[in-house]
A and B are shown apart, each in its own frame.
Chain A
Amino acid sequence: MSERDELSCRDFVEVIMAFLDGELDAAQCALFDAHLAACPDCVHYLDSYKTTITLGKSICDPEDADAPVPDDVPEELVQAVIAARRLR
């Protein structure tokens, strides 16, 4: 983040991930919040960035029974795996 007393939209976007990861110090957080209070576009951008992360995470959870699984695993794949194990 540049050493200035306010953030531009470019500065703001550059540090969004660091902000969400809790990597900004108190002074940097204050600058981040001040920009957010003054810039509705960046409020929308931050919200949509967070939604993007949530949507990404939702597509796969190894223990999620609702996670998409191909209905038709190719029988050739099953047979190939079984055959390969016999060869080992």
Chain B
Amino acid sequence: MVEDEATLVAALKAGDDAAFEKLVRDYSGRMLAVASRLVGEGAEANDVVQEAFLSAFRAIDRFEGTARLSTWLHRITVNAALMRLRSRRRHPEEPLDPWLPHFEASGHRVGPSEPWQPLDALQKKELRAQVRKRIDELPEIYRTVLLLRDIEGLDGEEVAGLLGVNIGTVKTRLHRARMALRSLLDPHLREMQP
């Protein structure tokens, strides 16, 4: 734990109001970004951040500094967002079929799969906004699994536990979500120049 962070954590554990305000000002931007990815932008994301900060404050005595404060808050925010997602009324599963590869009865692909140009670091960076936008287009049950596994980096068992589904379901949804995201990015990536 870096010194500044250690000082801040010590002050938080002592119940220092100014330290709490500093925590909120320093980290709410990142936490809002995480919450918005999971529950969408707007009031609900703000509520998630608020709940996450209150959870963090209640748990600060148990924070031992083995992870960065940002990583710890990140995980708490993900958990708070998942609580929100679970409490939402369940929608019927939305179809992904338009974005999945299509095959003939023989199993051969319908239509060619065009190559993507190799991307350099700058192009990858420029693409981030496009990738975020396309992820937002995925139906919620697929978007959530993709975000938790590929973006937030949770393992399959963790995601299964958090979503209350079995690991097979997580794997199926993740694979379908990746294929759909691939299709959504395909026109853009094929056009990019090396």
B79 within 8 A of A: no
Question: What residues on A are CB-neighbors of B171 within 8 Å?
Answer: 17
CA distance A58 to B175 in the complex (A): 18
Say yes or no: B124 contacts A55, CB within 8 Å: yes
Known contacts A49-B179, A49-B182; A59/B24 CB under 8 A: no
CA distance A57 to B127 in the complex (A): 12
Interface string of A41-81 (1 = CB under 8 A from B): 11011011101111111111011001111110110011011
Among A8, A13, A69, A85, contact of B106 (Cβ-Cβ < 8 Å): A8
Among A17, A41, A57, contact of B113 (Cβ-Cβ < 8 Å): A41
Q: Looking at chain A's contact residues, is the secondary structure mostly helix, strand, loop, or mixed?
A: helix
Say yes or no: B131 contacts A81, CB within 8 Å: no
Interface string of B154-194 (1 = CB under 8 A from A): 00000000000000000100110011011001100100000
CA distance A67 to B32 in the complex (A): 13
Say yes or no: A56 contacts B151, CB within 8 Å: yes
Say yes or no: A45 contacts B101, CB within 8 Å: yes
Known contacts A8-B103, A80-B46; A52/B29 CB under 8 A: no
Question: What residues on A are CB-neighbors of B151 within 8 Å?
Answer: 56-57, 59-60
> Closest chain B residue to A16 by CB distance?
B175
CA distance A42 to B7 in the complex (A): 54
Known contacts A81-B24, A85-B53; A9/B108 CB under 8 A: yes
Measuring CB to CB, which residues of chain B are less than 8 angstroms from any residue of chain A?
A: 20-21, 24-25, 28-30, 32-34, 37, 46, 49-50, 53-54, 57-58, 68, 70-71, 74, 101, 103, 106-109, 112-116, 119, 124-125, 127-128, 131-132, 135, 146, 150-153, 171, 174-175, 178-179, 181-182, 185-186, 189
A-B contact pairs, 6 of them (CB 8 A): A47-B115, A56-B150, A67-B33, A74-B46, A84-B53, A88-B58
